[in-house]
Amino acid sequence: MRNILGTLAVASMVTFGAIAPVGAQSVVTSMSIEDIKASCHADGEDEACLAAVQSYIADIKAAGLPADQTDALLAQLVVELGSVASSLPPEARARVANAIGVIANEISDTGLAARLQVAAANVQAGIDVARGDVAASPA
């Protein structure tokens, strides 16, 4: 019985989850970036947005990737969330900025974490976030 339940759990993660690419590796997440954007953008709710972001963070961290790859995946989420900041109503911008702040707290690279905090402030102000705004720190 336990094997059947375990198989069903894995199958549902693969079926309903998303695969986040990281170089040659892939990470299965229970929330896709599209699901997170839907939870956080114009028609979203604060609690659902934070729950979706925290679930994604937990899945990425559970994958056991090196810190730089984990940071890159989380920065990718920030870009996806903040790239349309200028088109979001103020309450959605505040929600997304809060979510980016949560993500920034999970980043191991202090320089990148600081850039994500700036990105959160920019989103709050209605300024779109681009990939270059959250690029990895030089090694």
Per-residue pLDDT tens, the chain, 139 aa: give them. 444 444 334 333 333 344 454 443 578 888 899 999 999 998 889 999 999 999 999 999 999 999 999 999 999 999 999 999 999 999 999 999 999 999 999 999 999 999 999 999 999 999 999 988 887 655 4
Is residue 5 in a domain? no
- The structural domain count of the chain equals 1
pTM: 0.79
Q: What residues contact 53, with CB distance under 8 A and at least 6 apart? A: 36, 40, 77, 99, 102, 103
* Containing structural domain, residue 65: 31-134
Is residue 55 in a domain? yes
| Residue 88 identity (one-letter amino acid) | L
